[in-house]
């Protein structure tokens, strides 16, 4: 889509300096600007680029003082960063505003489909599925029997939703993610026979799940992601786990079966949590930490593997780093003691 500088200024309620008719059709960083693009300047460290950028249109703060000629048309606003964020949101809405059902999509006759949905090529909506309004189902998405997808939810290309899964409103699930696959349970006392997994997965409203995640169905009952949960890419959630409201988990996090995670927690990358533990609300766990027991006190920061309180870990780490010198000192003292014993 193409817009004039004047149209952008009207949207942002900004003041134009330069050619109001200049056309833009793409976004760019100010240091990587190209003709026909729009950029912004908010951080003073990037002010030098305003005099050389090839972007056709740049959003700047009202109080920016220029010390040389600028080729680009400017739009002055109260906050360039806020204004550009508004444009990004609008651009994203336009880009993702897909509608219509491809002739190559399959929708079961027993499925219930809401209004204004998008279903891309080779999407499959199975028997007795319920799809809400304004749902976007990208190409090659599979939705199994009896699943429910709430209003305004987006399933990007290649997402696989197993049967009985319940997904709420305003959710975003990125490509390659699998929801409802079997939990990892076998009986070692019976030749490792597979234990049937007959539960489901429940995902509440306003949840975002990154690419290539795996959320296992429960053995019995439900694996649950509460409202507002946000996952990065490559997250594995095992059977019967419950993740509390507004908890954030960064890439490569793993939570083993039947663990319960509290509200408003933040886990950095590669955090591993063993099964059947509970993590209190507002817990922060640093990258590559391993949690081997429950955390019962709210608001604690944990680090290390096995992890313990961060303030204790930092103090202990001083000793970890000096361990070699401490051992050498002990060896020296032992040698001296043995020498004294033989005198």
CA atoms of 263 and 250, how far apart (whole Å): 15
Sign of CA dihedral 33, 34, 39, 40: positive
Catalytic one of 239, 276, 319, 342: 239
The yes-or-no answer on residue 236 being catalytic is: no
**Known catalytic residues?**
239
């Amino acid at each position: 889509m193409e817009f004039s500088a004047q149209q952008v200024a009207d949207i942002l309620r900004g003041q134009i300096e330069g050619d109001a008719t200049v056309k833009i059709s793409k976004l760019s960083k100010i240091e990587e600007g190209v003709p026909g693009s729009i950029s912004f300047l908010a951080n003073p460290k990037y002010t030098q680029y305003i005099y050389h950028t090839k972007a056709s249109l740049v959003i700047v703060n009202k109080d920016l003082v220029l010390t040389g000629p600028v080729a680009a048309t400017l739009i002055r606003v109260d906050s360039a960063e806020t204004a550009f964020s508004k444009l990004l949101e609008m651009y994203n809405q336009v880009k993702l505003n897909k509608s219509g059902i491809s002739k190559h999509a399959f929708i079961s006759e027993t499925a219930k489909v809401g209004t204004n949905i998008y279903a891309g090529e080779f999407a499959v909506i199975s028997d007795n599925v319920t799809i809400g309004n304004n749902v976007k189902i990208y190409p090659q998405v599979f939705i199994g029997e009896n699943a429910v997808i709430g209003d305004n939810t987006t399933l990007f290309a290649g997402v696989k939703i197993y049967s009985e899964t319940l997904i709420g409103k305003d959710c975003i699930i990125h490509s390659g993610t699998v929801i409802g696959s079997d939990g990892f349970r076998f009986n070692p006392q019976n030749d490792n026979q597979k234990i049937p997994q007959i539960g489901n997965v429940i995902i509440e409203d306003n949840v975002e799940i990154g690419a290539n995640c795996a959320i296992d169905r429960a053995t019995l009952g439900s694996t649950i992601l509460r409202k507002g949960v946000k996952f990065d890419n490559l997250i594995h959630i095992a059977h019967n786990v419950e993740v509390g409201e507004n908890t954030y988990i960064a890439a490569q996090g793993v939570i083993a079966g039947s663990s319960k995670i509290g509200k408003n927690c933040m886990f950095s990358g590669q955090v591993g949590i063993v099964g059947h533990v509970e993590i209190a609300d507002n817990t922060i766990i640093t990258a590559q930490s391993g949690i081997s027991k429950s955390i019962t006190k709210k608001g604690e920061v944990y680090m290390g593997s096995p992890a313990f309180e961060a303030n204790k870990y930092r103090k202990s780490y001083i000793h970890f780093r000096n361990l070699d010198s401490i051992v050498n000192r002990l060896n020296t003292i032992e040698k001296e003691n043995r020498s004294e014993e033989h005198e």
